[in-house]
C-alpha cells in the first residue's frame, strides 16, 4: 500500500519545504497540505521536485478563523469570497502540481446554504476541469466541527449527484466517518465510485492508526482488495515528534 503524509499535522513544526523532505526520508509515497498559502509556491514545488513526491491536494482557505469561520463555500453572504478562495487555491494547486482541491463548506445550515455550496462547487468544478484537477468535499464530524455544513457521506453523495460534474469526488476520512456513521468497510466498498481520496487516523483520539476502536490493518486490507491503489492520507495528530510516531508505517512497508 502507498501512503501520503498530511503535512497539516505531520512535521508541522518544520517549514513546509523541510517537512516535504522529512516525509520523503520517512518513506511516504506522497504528501498533502492544509493551507500552504503563506509559503511561496515556488519553494514548495522545488521541494517536491527534489524529492520526487507527488502532492495530492490542499484546502481552500477557511476565511476569518479568528471570527470562527471554517470554510466559505456554503455561506450565502460570502459567495464572492468563496469564489476568490477557490481561484486562489486552484492557482496554487496548478503551480505545485496538486491533483485535488478540497473545497471547504463552512458553518451553515438549511436550503440557502445548500444552494450556495452547490453554486460554489459548480464553479470550482468548471474551473478545475480546465486544469485537470479534481474537486473534493469532505464530511466533518460534529464533535470536532459542530455546525459544519457537511457531516455525513449520505449528504455528500447527494450533493455530488446534484452538482453532476465528473471531477467532483468524496474525500472519505475514516476518522470522521467512523465518528458519525461507523461501518467503515461497507461504506468504503459502496462509495468507491464516488471516492477521490481516503484519509485515516485512530478513533477517538485522532492519533496513529495502531490503536483505538478501528482495526486499520483490516481496513487497509479491505481497501487493497477493492483495487484502490492511490496513496492513503495519514492525517493524524502526533502525540510526539512525527519521526517517533511512524512505527505503523515501517511495519506495513516491511510486509508489503
Question: DSSP secondary structure string, 97-164?
Answer: T-SEEE--B-B--SHHHHHHHHHHHHHHHHHHHTTT-EEEE----TTTSTTBS---HHHHHHHHHHH-
The catalytic position among 32, 138, 181, 247 is 138
Cα–Cα–Cα angle for 227, 228, 232, rounded to 5 degrees:
150
Question: Distance of CA 99 to CAs 16, 119, 124, 139, 180, Å?
Answer: 18, 22, 14, 20, 27
Which of 18, 32, 213, 235 does the annotation list as catalytic? 235
138 carries an active-site annotation: yes
- Whether 235 sits among the annotated catalytic residues: the reply is yes
Give the position of cell 503524509: 5
Here the cell at position 254 is 516491511
Q: Please list the active-site residues.
A: 138, 235
Amino acid at each position: 500500500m502507498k501512503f501520503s503524509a498530511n503535512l497539516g499535522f505531520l512535521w508541522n513544526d518544520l517549514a513546509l519545504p523541510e517537512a516535504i523532505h522529512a516525509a520523503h526520508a520517512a518513506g511516504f509515497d506522497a504528501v498533502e497540505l492544509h493551507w500552504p498559502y503563506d509559503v511561496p509556491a515556488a519553494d514548495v514545488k522545488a521541494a517536491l521536485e527534489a524529492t520526487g513526491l507527488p502532492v495530492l491536494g490542499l484546502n481552500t482557505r477557511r476565511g476569518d478563523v479568528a471570527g470562527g469561520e471554517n470554510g466559505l463555500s456554503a455561506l450565502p453572504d460570502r459567495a464572492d469570497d468563496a469564489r476568490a478562495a477557490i481561484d486562489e487555491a486552484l492557482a496554487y494547486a496548478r503551480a505545485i502540481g496538486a491533483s485535488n482541491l478540497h473545497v471547504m463548506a463552512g458553518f451553515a445550515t438549511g436550503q440557502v446554504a445548500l444552494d450556495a455550496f452547490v453554486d460554489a462547487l459548480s464553479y470550482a468544478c468548471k474551473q478545475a476541469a480546465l486544469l485537470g484537477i479534481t474537486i473534493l468535499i469532505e464530511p466533518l464530524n460534529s464533535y470536532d466541527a459542530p455546525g459544519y455544513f457537511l457531516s455525513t457521506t449520505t449528504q455528500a453523495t447527494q450533493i455530488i449527484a446534484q452538482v453532476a460534474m465528473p471531477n467532483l469526488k468524496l474525500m472519505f476520512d475514516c476518522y470522521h466517518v467512523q465518528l458519525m456513521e461507523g461501518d467503515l468497510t461497507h461504506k468504503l466498498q459502496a462509495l468507491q465510485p464516488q471516492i477521490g481520496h481516503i484519509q485515516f487516523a485512530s478513533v477517538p483520539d485522532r492519533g496513529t492508526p495502531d490503536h483505538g476502536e478501528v482495526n486499520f490493518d483490516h481496513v487497509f486490507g479491505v481497501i487493497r482488495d477493492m483495487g484502490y491503489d492511490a496513496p492513503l492520507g495519514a492525517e493524524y495528530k502526533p502525540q510526539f515528534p512525527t519521526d517517533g510516531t511512524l512505527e505503523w508505517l515501517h511495519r506495513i512497508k516491511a510486509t508489503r
